């Protein structure tokens, strides 16, 4: 989102800040290609800083509070005032929302949107010789571009 906003700015009088609670590497967006051998785990894990566009402040600090009215982010080490707040809280897979899915989760039922799920599916697929595969996309994860 911030990448797109930076492209739209007509001058350099504003900048962006990314707040992360830790420096743990992020898996790339191509996790669905791991089960098919296109990428490996090592191809996916990139330091968070590599995802941050040039000219954007990169802050590793625990976010304690977000005051949307004051547009202030309070962290363990201090606070930051912002003109705009774009909050991305990630997404998560919730297999318990689909009847019967939890019973086979991680054994015969896998996701491929997470690094762990993609790796587990790749291992299972390696020994799959014949039969039917069901691909159940209950909800497609996506981001709004507005």
Residues sharing a CB contact under 8 Å with residue 101, sequence separation 6 or more, in sequence order = 95, 109, 136
Task: Please compute the mean of the pLDDT values over residues 23-51 and round it to a whole number.
Answer: 75
Q: Flag whether 143 is in a domain.
A: no
**pLDDT score recorded for residue 42:** 81
The pLDDT value given to residue 141: 52
Residue 66 lies in a domain: yes
In this predicted structure, what is the pLDDT of residue 145? 44
Give residue 12's pLDDT band: very low, low, confident or very high (50, 70, 90).
low
* Residue 12 belongs to some domain of the structure: yes
Q: CA dihedral in degrees (11, 59, 43, 107; nearest 10)?
A: -120
Classify residue 138: in a domain, yes or no: no
- 88 found inside a domain: yes
The sheet carrying 63-67 orders its strands as 63-67, 72-75, 78-81
Q: What are 75's strand-pairing partners?
A: 63, 78
Question: Would you say residue 118 lies in a domain?
Answer: no
* Total domains, the chain: 1
What six digits make up the tokens of 3? 């990448």
Cα angle: 70, vertex 87, 90; to 5 degrees: 155
Quote the domain boundaries for residue 80. 2-92
Interatomic CA distance for residues 61 and 22, integer angstroms: 7
Residue predicted with more confidence, 140 or 48: 48
pLDDT tens sequence across 46-63: 777 777 777 777 788 888
The closest of 46, 66, 48 to 57, measured between CA atoms, is 48
Which CA distances in Å does 24 have to 2, 45, 46, 116, 129? 20, 9, 9, 15, 36
- Place 16 in a pLDDT band, splitting at 50, 70 and 90: low
32, HSE (Cβ side, Cα atoms, 13 Å) = 6
Tens digits of per-residue pLDDT, 70-110? 888 898 988 888 777 766 666 677 888 888 889 989 888 88
Whole-model pTM over 0.75: no
Residue 64 maps to a domain: yes
Q: Can you give the CATH number for the domain in which 65 is found?
A: 3.50.50.60
Strand partners, 59: 19
Task: Report d(CA 55, CA 75) in Å as an integer.
Answer: 21
What rounded mean pLDDT belongs to the chain? 76
């Amino acid at each position: 989102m911030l990448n797109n906003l930076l492209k739209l700015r007509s001058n350099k009088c504003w900048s962006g800040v990314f707040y992360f609670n830790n420096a743990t590497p992020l898996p790339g967006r191509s996790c669905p290609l791991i089960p098919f051998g296109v990428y490996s785990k090592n191809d996916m894990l990139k330091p968070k800083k590599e995802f941050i566009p040039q000219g954007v402040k990169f802050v590793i600090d625990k976010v304690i509070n977000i005051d949307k009215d004051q547009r202030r982010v309070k962290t363990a080490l201090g606070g930051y005032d912002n003109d705009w707040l774009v909050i991305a809280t990630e997404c998560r897979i919730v297999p318990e929302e689909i009847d019967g899915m939890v019973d086979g989760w991680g054994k015969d039922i896998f996701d491929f949107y997470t690094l762990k799920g993609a790796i587990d599916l790749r291992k299972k697929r390696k020994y799959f010789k014949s039969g039917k595969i069901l691909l159940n996309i209950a909800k497609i994860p996506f981001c709004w571009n507005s």
